[in-house]
A = this chain, B = another copy of it.
């Protein structure tokens, strides 16, 4: 019997991470998000901050090609992808859980009984949220969102051949801006 895993892909600022944490808390499951970064850091020897950035650059980008992984014939992005693949597969084997981001939906498609979720919202809702959550930056919130979305989509496409945000790749997609975070949590709980 495969473990039941909730995978949450999300647009930056849509509240997908918050939704994942709340769902996990309600169900008494572990939620892997930053914990995932820590595990990948431990296994890879890279700093968490580096992984956070590199994990959103498709190979060919600046960071991934800055230097190659020692010894192995892999660039850093591919090396990290392998570690990520291994870490996520092992987590899903350990038991039911919630995993946010990091292409877990794709990695676990044959390894776990996944409930695949995508959370999105319009740019206005997300812009307000990221300023509230992460503070102001030099770049406008809209520019930060466009940049992040573009990177996540490219990364996802490169490693999974799936189109990020295409309804057909998920069991359910939810607009957290129009439905509200509470309602998103409620619907996901009703599906588990």
Binding site for B on A (CB under 8 A): 118, 120, 165-168, 170-175, 178-179, 183, 186-187, 190-191
Query: Would you give the shortest CB distance from A28 to chain B, in whole angstroms?
Result: 22
CA distance A3 to B17 in the complex (A): 33
Q: A120-B167, A183-B191 are in contact. List 15 more A-B contacts (CB 8 A).
A: A118-B167, A166-B166, A167-B167, A167-B170, A167-B173, A170-B175, A171-B174, A171-B175, A171-B178, A172-B173, A172-B174, A172-B175, A186-B190, A187-B190, A190-B190
9 contacts between A and B (CB under 8 A): A120-B168, A166-B167, A170-B173, A171-B174, A171-B178, A171-B179, A172-B173, A187-B187, A190-B190
CA distance A118 to B175 in the complex (A): 12
Copies in the complex: 2
Determine the chain B residues whose CB is within 8 A of the CB of A179 once the complex forms.
171-172, 191
CA distance A179 to B170 in the complex (A): 11
CA distance A170 to B165 in the complex (A): 11
Determine the chain B residues whose CB is within 8 A of the CB of A183 once the complex forms.
191
Determine the chain B residues whose CB is within 8 A of the CB of A167 once the complex forms.
118, 120, 165-167, 170, 173, 175
CA distance A189 to B133 in the complex (A): 32
Determine the chain B residues whose CB is within 8 A of the CB of A191 once the complex forms.
179, 183
Query: Would you give the shortest CB distance from A87 to chain B, in whole angstroms?
Result: 26
CA distance A173 to B169 in the complex (A): 11
Determine the chain B residues whose CB is within 8 A of the CB of A175 once the complex forms.
167-168, 170-172
